[in-house]
Amino acid sequence: MDFLNALIAFLNFVFVPGLAYGAQLALGALGITLIYGILRFSNFAHGDTMAFGTMVTIYTTWGLQAAGITLGVLPTALLGLPVGIAATAFLTLATDRIIYKFYRKNKALPTVLVMVSMGVMFVLNGIVRLFIGVEEQNFADGERFLISTGDFKAMTGLAEGLAIKSTQAITVIVAVLVVTWLFWFLQKTRTGKSMRAFSDNEELALLSSINPDRVVQMTWIIAAALATIAGVLYGLDKSFKPFTYFQLLLPIFAAAIVGGLGNPLGAIAGGFIIAFSEVTVTYAWTKVLTYVLPESMAPKNLIQLISTDYKLAVSFVILILVLLFMPTGLFKGKSV
């Protein structure tokens, strides 16, 4: 019984939130990695692309709610998602046409493109704030919990409760679906194959009559879809605030780099590594140990490896270690 309680406390405070957060980071990192692999630059505007997609989805959700259309127990935002993706795809295609294309034609260095993407980031930052404002927006509706701590305790009679929010469940399910689709698309379809060929060797791909414009367009559309989905899932699970989305850029990049920039599998692994390392290394084990150890050995003080102050440092230490010993990331991406 005590062991079960310890396990539940661990699941409730470490595993479940870590899993959902990891899935959100993984989706974001996939978008970064895709653009890095095919367009060959680090897209700093990705966080704000997420914010833009989420904003459009929020507007659509509000519209649907006003019209009385909801998804019942599921959040209405899932219905608004396609609109958000379409608008974001339009936005990324337009920025590519107006801005990135010029630099690609002139064979600009990746560093230059990074700076350009930073400019795009600031512009998007402004656009999002102009429309929806700086304040926090909540747009989650439907059933809040799949299972709440109270219900869980009543059901099992355990002292510890386990809460699974429906948004956490949706996050993980949607992430699995999207990732499966993406891998199928990249491995099995003609367009996916041409994208991978373009990523591996641009000249060779051009020689085999692959249309570069089409590859670039597909990449932007997929990146926009990934960004919007990641942003909406994150917003549903926590809340939407432009400033936070801007800050999300950091862990997402860390995830993509740890996994290996340009490698989709790495991006997913990286997302979970960053999420779990943030949660586990700084977890205070007092409660779990009190359950597991005999009473005489139960901890009286706080048992914590390092304080949560160092949460961010943990992911950066991992990042530095990976870059030192495996410069191309855990899953052999391109070297940074």
Task: List binders of another protein among 288-317 (CB under 8 A).
Answer: 288, 302, 304, 307-309, 311-312
Whole-angstrom Cα distance, residue 217 to residue 198? 13
How many chain residues bind another protein (CB under 8 A)? 46
Q: Indicate which single residue of 41, 220, 283, 291 sits in contact with another protein (rule: CB under 8 A).
A: 283
Which residues are 284's β-sheet partners?
A: 304
For another protein, the closer CB: 195 or 275: 275
**Contact between 238 and another protein per CB under 8 A:** yes
* Residue 310 DSSP one-character state: G
**Contact between 46 and another protein per CB under 8 A:** no
User: Distance of CA 252 to CAs 151, 175, 293, Å?
Assistant: 34, 15, 37
CB 194 within 8 A of CB 210: yes
**Contact between 140 and another protein per CB under 8 A:** no
Q: What is the DSSP string of 98-118?
A: IIIHHHHHTT--HHHHHHHHH
What do you get for the CA distance between the two ends of the chain, in Å? 49
**Contact between 191 and another protein per CB under 8 A:** no
Whole-angstrom Cα distance, residue 123 to residue 182? 29
Whole-angstrom Cα distance, residue 48 to residue 51? 5
Task: List binders of another protein among 244-273 (CB under 8 A).
Answer: 244, 247-248, 251
Task: List binders of another protein among 108-137 (CB under 8 A).
Answer: 134-136
Q: Indicate which single residue of 102, 181, 243, 316 sits in contact with another protein (rule: CB under 8 A).
A: 243
Q: How far is the CB of 264 from another protein (least distance, A)?
A: 21
Question: What backbone phi and psi angles, to 5 degrees, belong to 330?
Answer: -65, -30
Site stretch for another protein (CB under 8 A), options 111-119, 199-207, 234-242, 262-270: 234-242
**Contact between 240 and another protein per CB under 8 A:** no
Q: Indicate which single residue of 222, 278, 318, 331 sits in contact with another protein (rule: CB under 8 A).
A: 278
**Contact between 148 and another protein per CB under 8 A:** yes
Q: Indicate which single residue of 43, 87, 165, 171 sits in contact with another protein (rule: CB under 8 A).
A: 165
Site stretch for another protein (CB under 8 A), options 53-61, 92-100, 217-225, 241-249: 241-249
Q: Indicate which single residue of 5, 6, 18, 328 sits in contact with another protein (rule: CB under 8 A).
A: 18
**Contact between 9 and another protein per CB under 8 A:** yes
Q: How far is the CB of 84 from another protein (least distance, A)?
A: 19
Q: How far is the CB of 143 from another protein (least distance, A)?
A: 13
User: Distance of CA 90 to CAs 51, 82, 95, 96, 225, Å?
Assistant: 15, 12, 9, 10, 11
Q: How far is the CB of 90 from another protein (least distance, A)?
A: 26
Whole-angstrom Cα distance, residue 201 to residue 216? 14
* Residue 161 DSSP one-character state: -
CA 237 to chain centre: 12
> Number of C-alpha atoms within 13 angstroms, CB side, residue 194?
17
CB 31 within 8 A of CB 16: no
**Contact between 318 and another protein per CB under 8 A:** no
For another protein, the closer CB: 13 or 100: 13
Question: Exposure pattern of 47-71 as b/e (b: 16+ CB <10 Å)?
Answer: bbbbbbbbbbbbbbbeebbeeeeee
**Contact between 70 and another protein per CB under 8 A:** no
Token pair listed for 37: 């692999």
Q: Which residues contact 217 (CB under 8 A, 6 or more apart)?
A: 93, 96
List contacts with another protein (CB under 8 A): 9, 12-14, 17-18, 21, 24-25, 134-136, 138, 145, 148-150, 161, 163, 165, 234, 238-239, 241, 243-244, 247-248, 251, 275, 278-279, 282-288, 302, 304, 307-309, 311-312
